[in-house]
A and B are shown apart, each in its own frame.
Chain A
Amino acid sequence: MIQVRALTKSIDTGTHRVDILKGIDLEIPKGQFAAIMGPSGSGKSTLLGLLAGLDSPTTGQVLLDGEDITHLTEDEMATLRGRKIGFVFQSYHLIPTLTAEENVLLPMELAGRSDLGRARELLDRVGLKDRFDHHPVQLSGGEQQRVALARAFALKPPILLADEPTGNLDSATGGVVLDLLRAMNREQGATMVLVTHEKALADSADRCIVMHDGLVVSQ
């Protein structure tokens, strides 16, 4: 379960202060697929980043399965992410100097559970059986995002967070990626939170959280 209590986030740009999140309260039960929608600048990506512990809130709390992650150190958060959270970025963010296989293997190696067989199985699952030893520069955008999906599922995380995973893809490719995402998540049974602009995708979610101007306006 993901719980958010009175969460705010502000940043100081030097000349003025920007309030990105102005007080979010939220609960996402275990196993639920929640979509977060809203116009650009509404704070969707920031909220997702805070749920993953990639940033620190200004005030408020984020609890994952009852554990308050807000005051964990960077290293404690990294360990938690390795154990509990799979993350898919809009811009894929693969390691450019590693092959597809090595990118998927990396989180397992960091967690001390190196398993080449699983890495290959995941790549096969996302349709990249012939791309194991390709570097990101040798892959198309859609292929890179599929590698990123495989990486996100490498450690069978109980929570999957995806930040506009099809934002940089054409609609056809994006459709393929989304189908894979949903299928793999059904297989794993993870709690999924997905930031998206696409209404169709949001409609297919168990729940749609709409944000506007740093606040949740409906859920």
Chain B
Amino acid sequence: MTQLPWSTSARIAWRELRAARTRFVFVILAVAVGVGSLTGVRGFSHSFRRMLLREARTLMAGDMTARVFALPDAQQLQVLHELEQQGIVRTWITETVTMASSASTPDPLLISVKAVDPKAYPFYGVVKLNPPKPLREALDAQSVVVSDDLLIRLKVKVGDKLHIGGQDYAIAGVVVSEPDRMTGSLNVGPRVMITREGLDRTGLITVGSRAAERYLFRLPATGGPSIETVRAILKAAFPEATIADYQETHPIITRGLDRATTFLSLIGLIALVIGAMGVGSAMHGHLQQKLDSIAVMKCIGARSEQIIRIYTVQTLMLGLSGGLLGAVIGVAVAAAFPGMIAKYFSIDARNAWDAWPAVQGIAISCLVTLLFTLPPLWSIRTIRPAEIFRRDSGPQTPQSRKWSLLIRGAILLGTALVAATLTEGSMLDALRTGVIFAVGLGIGLTLLVLAAWLFLRSLRGALRKAPKNLPGAIRYGMSNLYRPGNQAQAAVVALGVGVMFTLTVFLVQQALVNQIRGSAPRGMPNVFLLDIPGPQRQAVADLIQAQPGVTSAPEVAFSVAAKIVSIDGAPIDQFAVGDAGRRFLRTRSVTEMAAKPPETDILKGSWWKAGDPTPQVCAAEETAQVLKLHPGAVIEWNIWNHTVRTRVACVERTESVRMTARFEFLFSPGQLANFPSVFYGSARVRPPDVPGVQRVVYEKFPTVTVVNIADVMQIVEDVVQRIAMVIRFISAFTILAGAVMVASSIAGTRFRRMREVVILKTIGATRQSIAWIFTVEFLALGTVAGLMGSLLAAAFTALILKRLLEIEFHVDWVAHVGTVGIAALVAAGAGWAASFRVLGRKPLEILREE
């Protein structure tokens, strides 16, 4: 059997494409939109990762960093000293939060404090100050450098005094850039850099204080132990520490980057799938118009396989064109990201793109368009040459059910594999994500197709029952949705997907932000007190209780740092698995309680009797589930290098607004009294009175940090808004892809539309009246898509809010109505883009082409 060379297939395919330029231009654009978002996201991510590796030393300000969660003990200090002897230079950074005030504003402000040794820090990179001067000259025990937002918030300038922990510090400069800003702790307020001596003056840090400690190391340039050796030594001495070195990207940033890249890539893939669906749909329409040509080709000797090869090449041409254009769009997308995250990360937009993801995106574009074109390509086999002779020779041989299912399976499998390649992480994670994505997409699209069918059918029914005096333009325009060859259903689904996705993100974001802004549930504390000195805890509580606006007595609790060693003799590693369990490998905060709090319900076992000396614990419900605890189990603890064994007496559940709900373990009395402890508290204060409480506590107890939850929520809200903005930016591409699909579908009916225009003009219709008819059709299409997308968005949002976030769902009518309106306008715009030329042609021109 003679093979049709690929070059010949390409030549024939190209000839065919020439004549269908208008239809396929839109299809290529739809694919390009999807590829653009995908390559933009991944290009930026790769570039960001390269930057992290390239600048690792500067970003870390050292060769290695070890983040620990408590001050080192004697043994650990010995290890550090031994490393020093081997030429490894070390510097120590402490980060904590506290209150600060100035003479210009009586109300104290929550700030993030970073204590450094300016003679050593940073090992790499430079802290740039304004006015420019080296850090070691600007900072001493009496001075600080600050971020510019602190100057605004406290109404101070360089040279003024800042009051921290009861001490005054001169503001020596403003921090313009800080090399290790990205790898430091999350900021809850304006930043202040201070020396160790300066921090000691404040008295903020005592044994058991809650502060993030970080060691930076610089290894000798030649000789000395290797990075791997030092890492192993540090890991053995500080088992809970997070250790990173310049040869890898920082694990915390990398994990976040991986997850964000995967999530945004999958959204980009959805946009690409919409584009690919457009190709499949356009190819289906194209082949329907080519039935005669294909039958003639079979008459003159073409086998099905040869014809399929020709149209496969055509599909690949479309996929490749879309991919290449998308790669160009991806450059612009990648360049947009640095601006969106500038507040948290400083990246040069010129370096925001990477070539490899562009190559990957183009390959994926070809594969995905081919997958979604499988059904119309395969149907070529059923076209019979006898079509030429007799239209009534009977229907085409339908595709066998087996082949139909196989093709659908191939599409799902292919999509799953593509999604898996876009997932960062292990192979297992990737495969799991791929399968979930493909199945979810399959179910989602099925639901959308059903919904679209239902909507369009209902509209048709309504149209039939509509009064006869309905204006002609409306009746005709809406009935055009059912014009033969019109792919209204596919267009509605494509646009509806984008609308549903983008609206869901918006509604979830709004609900989260409203939750953050809204008043706290009854009884929920809105003020937290940190670093209360133990002996002063009663005085602090009494002071707060006496302030106006305090609606519930302050609760003060203490916590001790304790680490689980084993459960029933088995090491904790065996239980602390998965995301939920990993935290139990680290030190936990535990407390003691003599009597069972009234809001605590015992689910299993029983609370200890008063006076019972047996060391016991009561575990929180979630903790017991993760660690598989039951009454009677024996937990061995390491508390400040002492071994404590406790029996699990009960499993409890506490109403979440209570302080006791924070603790995973409640110890029976008498076990923790001799260990260093940290006291903290909470109170419920009327929001307008919170600044007053902060001021009074700050004046009397300057080392106590009073956190107004509203301030923290503001930061959280800002982060949520930015994340949502990034997600909405990418999901907007799904709407764009949907709009282009609408244009493509309308372009596909160009010839029929032109014939109708001829007839209408012949019987006296003006261009304006014809324009109204088309506009009604496009608006109807967009309205149906908007309604469908909006309803499904409401359903998905309600599901996400209730099941995942435990937030009440309320219908946002403005958002929904607005969305439907925007979708209608988008469809109208897309429709006119595809058909504006039809109106201007003379009737005879069109008839001649027949």
Query: What residues make up the interface of A, taking CB atoms closer than 8 Å to B?
Result: 11-13, 45-46, 49, 52, 54-55, 74-75, 78-79, 81-83, 87, 89, 93-98, 102, 106-107, 109-112, 114, 137, 151, 155
Q: List 22 A-B contacts (CB under 8 A).
A: A11-B392, A49-B389, A55-B385, A55-B393, A74-B384, A78-B301, A82-B301, A83-B301, A97-B16, A97-B19, A97-B293, A98-B15, A102-B15, A110-B297, A110-B301, A111-B301, A112-B4, A112-B8, A114-B8, A137-B848, A151-B300, A155-B301
**B296 close to chain A: CB less than 8 A:** yes
Q: Is the CB of B394 within 8 A of A74?
A: no
Query: Is there contact, CB below 8 Å, between B299 and A110?
Result: no
Of B292, B300, B849, the contact of A110 (CB 8 Å cutoff): B300
Q: Per-position contact with A for B295-329: 1 when CB-CB < 8 Å, else 0?
A: 01111111111100000000000000000000000
Q: In residues 335-393 of chain B, which contact A (Cβ within 8 Å)? A: 381, 384-386, 388-390, 392-393
A170 → B minimal CB distance (Å): 19
Q: Is the Cβ of B297 less than 8 Å from the Cβ of A106?
A: yes
Query: By the criterion CB–CB under 8 Å, are A107 and B393 in contact?
Result: no
B22 CB to closest chain A CB, in angstroms? 13
The distance in angstroms between the C-alpha atoms of A102 and B15, with both chains bound, is 9
Query: Chain A residues near B2 (CB, 8 Å)?
Result: 79, 110-112
Taken together as a complex, chains A and B put the C-alpha atoms of A78 and B305 apart, in Å, by 11
State which of B8, B18, B385 has its C-beta within 8 Å of the C-beta of A109. Answer: B8
Nearest chain A CB to B379 CB, angstrom units: 14
Interface contact B293-A54, CB-CB below 8 Å: no
B8 contacts A79, C-beta separation under 8 Å: no
A93 touches B292 (CB 8 A): yes
Q: Is the CB of B305 within 8 A of A109?
A: no
B304 in contact with A52 (CB, 8 Å): no
The answer to whether A78 and B303 touch across the interface, beta carbons within 8 angstroms, is: yes
Q: DSSP class of B's interface residues: helix, strand, loop or mixed?
A: helix
Query: Which B residue's beta carbon lies closest to that of A48?
Result: B389
Interface pair B4/A110, CB less than 8 Å apart: yes
Which residue among B20, B300, B306, B386 has the maximum number of chain A CB atoms within 10 Å of its CB?
B300
Return chain A residues, CB-CB under 8 Å to B298: 74, 78
Q: Which residue of B lies closest to A87 (CB)?
A: B299
Going nearest first, the 8 A-B pairs with the smallest beta carbon separation are A82-B301, A97-B19, A75-B303, A112-B2, A55-B386, A54-B385, A107-B300, A93-B296
Interface readout for B1-17 with A: 1 if CB under 8 Å, 0 if not?
Answer: 11111001001100110
- Could you list 15 further interchain pairs (A-B, Cβ under 8 angstroms) beyond the known A54-B386, A81-B301? A46-B389, A55-B384, A55-B393, A79-B301, A79-B303, A89-B388, A93-B292, A93-B296, A93-B388, A97-B16, A106-B300, A107-B301, A110-B300, A111-B2, A112-B4
| Chain B residue contacts of A110, Cβ below 8 A | 2, 4, 297, 300-302, 306
Known A-B contacts A54-B299, A111-B301, A112-B4; the reply to A49 vs B386 at CB < 8 A is yes
Closest to A55 in B: B386
Do B299 and A52 touch across chains, with their CB atoms under 8 A apart? Answer: yes
Given contacts A83-B301, A87-B300, A98-B15, contact A13 B392 (CB under 8 A): yes
Per the bound structure, the CA–CA distance linking A110 and B296 in Å amounts to 12
Number of B interface residues in the complex (CB < 8 A) = 38
| Residues of chain A contacted by B299 (CB below 8 angstroms) | 52, 54, 81, 87, 89, 93
Query: Whole-angstrom distance between the alpha carbons of A67 and B8 in the complex?
Result: 30
- Chain A residues with Cβ below 8 Å from B11 are 109
In this complex, what residue of A is CB-closest to B383? A74
Q: Is the CB of B301 within 8 A of A95?
A: no
Q: A11 touches which one: B301, B304, B394 (CB < 8 A)?
A: B394
In chain B, positions 385-423 with a C-beta closer than 8 Å to chain A are 385-386, 388-390, 392-394
Minimum distance in angstroms from B467 CB to a CB of chain A = 37
Residue of A nearest to B306 (CB): A110
Which of A13, A106, A155: most chain B CB closer than 10 A? A106
Interface residues in B277-305 by Cβ distance below 8 A to A read 292-293, 296-305
Give chain A nearest CB distance to B751 CB in angstroms: 11
Q: Which residue of B lies closest to A12 (CB)?
A: B394
Taking a contact as CB atoms under 8 Å apart, the answer to whether B301 and A97 are in contact is no
Closest to A107 in B: B300
Q: What's the minimum C-beta distance from A155 to chain B, rounded to whole angstroms?
A: 8
Which of B4, B293, B381, B849 is within 8 Å of A95, CB to CB? B293
User: Separation in Å of the B6 CB from the closest CB of chain A?
Assistant: 12
Residues of B1-43 at the interface with A, using a CB-CB cut-off of 8 Å, are: 1-5, 8, 11-12, 15-16, 18-20
User: Chain A residues with Cβ under 8 A from B384's Cβ?
Assistant: 55, 74
Chain A proximity of B313: nearest CB distance (Å): 13
Most buried by B among A49, A82, A110: A110
Interfacial chain A residues near B385, Cβ < 8 Å: 54-55, 74, 78
Most buried by B among A12, A95, A111, A155: A95
Q: How far is the CB of B306 from chain A (nearest CB, A)?
A: 6
Judging by beta carbons under 8 Å apart, are B12 and A45 in contact? no
* A114 CB contacts on chain B under 8 angstroms: 8
User: Of all chain A residues, which has the CB nearest B18?
Assistant: A97
Using CB atoms, name the residue of chain B closest to A99: B15
A13: nearest chain-B partner, CB-CB: B392
Chain B CB count within 10 A is highest, among A13, A54, A89, A114, for: A54
Is the Cβ of A81 less than 8 Å from the Cβ of B300? yes
Beyond A75-B305, A110-B306, A112-B4, whether A55 also contacts B300 by CB under 8 A is: no
Residues in A whose Cβ lies below 8 Å from that of B4: 109-110, 112
Q: Are A95 and B296 in contact, CB atoms less than 8 angstroms apart?
A: yes
Which residue on chain B has the smallest CB distance to residue A114? B8
A83 neighbours in B (Cβ, 8 Å): 301
Inter-chain contacts of A74 with B (CB < 8 A): 298, 303-304, 381, 384-385
**Does A54 contact B304, Cβ atoms closer than 8 Å?**
no
Verify A54–B388 contact, CB threshold 8 A: yes
In-complex Cβ contact of A97 among B1, B3, B15, B303 (8 A): B15
A20 to B300, CA, bound (A): 24
Knowing A97-B16, A97-B293, A151-B300 touch, does A55 contact B8 (C-beta < 8 A)?
no
In whole Å, how far is A92's beta carbon from the nearest beta carbon of chain B?
A: 10
Complex Cα spacing A98 to B698, Å: 86
CA–CA, A54 and B298, complex, Å: 9
**Residues of chain A lying within 8 A (CB to CB) of residue B849:** 137
Nearest opposing residue in chain A for B295, CB measure: A93
**Nearest residue in A to B19 (C-beta to C-beta)?**
A97
Q: Which chain A positions have C-beta within 8 A of B390?
A: 11
Q: How far is the CA of A133 from the CA of B838 in the complex (A)?
A: 26
Q: Which residues of A contact B304 (CB under 8 A)?
A: 74-75, 78
Q: Complex formed: what's the CA distance from A155 to B300 in Å?
A: 10
Query: CB-CB < 8 A to A109: which residues of B?
Result: 4, 8, 11-12
Residues of B within 8 A of A81 (CB): 299-301
Give complex CA distance A75, B394 in Å.
20
Chain A: CB-nearest residue to B389 = A49
B303 partner residues in chain A, CB cutoff 8 A: 74-75, 78-79
A13 smallest CB distance to B (angstroms): 6
B-chain residues with CB within 8 Å of residue A97 when the two chains form the complex? 15-16, 18-20, 293
Minimum Cβ distance to chain A for residue B516 (Å):
59
A112 touches B3 (CB 8 A): yes
User: In angstroms, how far is the closest chain B Cβ from the Cβ of A134?
Assistant: 14
The distance from the CB of A12 to the nearest CB of chain B, in whole angstroms, is: 7
- Report whether A54 and B301 are in contact in the complex, using a CB–CB cutoff of 8 Å: no
Residues of B near A78 (CB, < 8 A) are 298, 301-304, 385
Q: Report the nearest B residue to A163, measured CB to CB.
A: B389
A-side contacts of B848, CB under 8 Å: 137
Residues of B within 8 A of A111 (CB): 2, 301
* Min distance, Cβ A93 to any Cβ of chain B, angstroms: 5
Measured between C-beta atoms, what is the minimum distance from B143 to chain A in Å? 79
Closest to B392 in A: A13
Least CB distance, A166 to chain B, in whole angstroms: 18
Task: Please report the C-alpha to C-alpha distance between residue A102 and residue B16 in the assembled complex, in whole angstroms.
Answer: 11
Tell me which residues across on chain A come within 8 A of B1, comparing CB atoms: 79
Contacting residues, chain A, for B19 (C-beta < 8 A):
96-97
Q: Residue among B11, B15, B302 with the most chain A CB within 10 A? A: B302
CB atoms of A45 and B15 under 8 A apart: no
Closest chain-A Cβ to B641's Cβ sits at a distance in Å of 81
